[in-house]
């Protein structure tokens, strides 16, 4: 039976890597499976994890099933059939109680040829940071391809990395080919292309319980890493628009996604005219999504797929919400 679409609240997919923690429970009251839960795939439609609808008549269906059943109604006229073949975006929250490996992601052409997958351009919004937290963004100035390769083989890459001090609210845009690593004590919202391809370059010379190092993907990393000077340009400033008592932060606009943060004190009207879908993730406060057929309440930590066909909607309450969508031309 086909139902009229509505704001779909999604239950996430949890991942438990060795570096995970319990902040998803402590900050967002999520029912995580363990104290080493490192990733919450909030809005996901990927072979390695798909969100499940948590509300309304479609409760229990996967996001993939909804997209397969509703097609253009869900995705929009500009994304439609292409989006049915491969949903374009993946939204996560990452909790790093230990530092992650130094990684790089390929762009579309390389990823398609070598992995049969999309490339991975992504962005981070820092939701929480312990004092003194850092992350890796690119390399120091003057690092050559030869220096880079030699340091990976010798296990001394740490000396060439660009470490950045991080605080809550910082934003980073990470195009494919950018060397990066999330540091210890960071809780991060990640918006990315819908890809699970990661090339591990360096893992701080760690070994597992049997004394073995984790697998590295050195040749592929050498193929795709861009060694450009990024010092002083790591963080995204964005632009701010005052809309009455509300504030809209325009953060990133690239060919894969547009991302804003809405700081809402009063109702914020959001247009949706049928050509695309919106993705929403509440990160502070609580409120209500109002649309022509009704209203859906939310709290911090809730994520929604907003189908293209529901029309204009508004967000009311005192809250902070990340809004992401695919640019349409």
158 annotated as belonging to a binding site for a ligand: no
CA distance 84 to 67: 6
Is 180 known as a binding-site position?
yes
Write the CB contacts of 258 (distance below 8 Å, at least 6 apart in sequence). Answer: 252, 324, 325, 326, 327
Distance of alpha carbon 45 from alpha carbon 62, whole angstroms: 8
Alpha carbons within 13 A on the beta-carbon side of 6: 19
Catalytic annotation, residues: 200
105 annotated as a binding-site residue: yes
Separation CA 275–CA 329 (nearest Å): 10
Query: Which 3 state secondary structure label does DSSP give 162?
Result: strand
Q: Are strands 186-193 and 180-181 parallel, antiparallel or unpaired?
A: unpaired
Taking the alpha carbons at both ends of the chain, their separation in whole angstroms is: 33
81 vs 77: CA distance, rounded Å? 9
Q: Which residues are annotated as a binding site for Zn(2+)?
A: 105, 122, 180
């Amino acid at each position: 039976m086909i139902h009229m679409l509505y704001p779909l609240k999604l239950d996430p997919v949890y991942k438990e890597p060795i570096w995970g923690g319990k902040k998803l429970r402590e900050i967002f009251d999520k029912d995580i499976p363990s104290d080493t839960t490192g990733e919450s795939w909030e809005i996901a439609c990927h072979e390695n994890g798909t969100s499940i609808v948590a509300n309304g008549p479609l409760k229990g269906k996967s996001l993939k099933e909804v997209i397969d059943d509703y097609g253009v109604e869900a995705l929009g006229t500009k994304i439609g059939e292409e989006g049915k073949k491969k949903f374009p975006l993946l939204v996560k929250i990452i909790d790093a109680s230990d530092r992650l490996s130094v990684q790089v992601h390929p762009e579309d052409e390389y990823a398609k040829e070598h992995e049969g997958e999309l490339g991975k351009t992504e962005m981070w919004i820092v939701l929480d940071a312990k004092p003194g937290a850092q992350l890796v963004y690119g390399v120091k100035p003057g690092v050559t391809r030869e220096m880079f390769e030699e340091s990976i083989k010798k296990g001394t890459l740490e000396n060439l990395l660009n470490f950045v001090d991080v605080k809550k609210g910082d934003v980073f845009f990470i195009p494919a080919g950018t060397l990066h690593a999330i540091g210890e004590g960071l809780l991060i919202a990640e918006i990315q292309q819908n890809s699970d391809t990661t090339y591990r370059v360096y893992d701080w010379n760690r070994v597992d319980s049997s004394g073995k190092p984790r697998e590295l993907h050195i040749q592929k990393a050498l193929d795709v890493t861009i060694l450009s000077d990024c010092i002083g340009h790591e963080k995204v400033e964005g632009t701010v628009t005052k809309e009455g008592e509300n504030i809209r932060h325009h953060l990133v606009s690239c060919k894969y996604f547009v991302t804003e943060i809405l700081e809402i004190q009063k109702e914020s009207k959001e247009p949706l005219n049928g050509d695309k879908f919106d993705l929403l993730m509440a990160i502070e406060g609580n409120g209500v999504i109002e649309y022509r057929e009704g209203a859906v309440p939310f709290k911090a930590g809730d994520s929604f797929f907003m189908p293209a066909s529901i029309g204009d909607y508004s967000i009311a309450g005192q809250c902070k919400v990340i809004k992401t969508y695919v640019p349409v031309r």
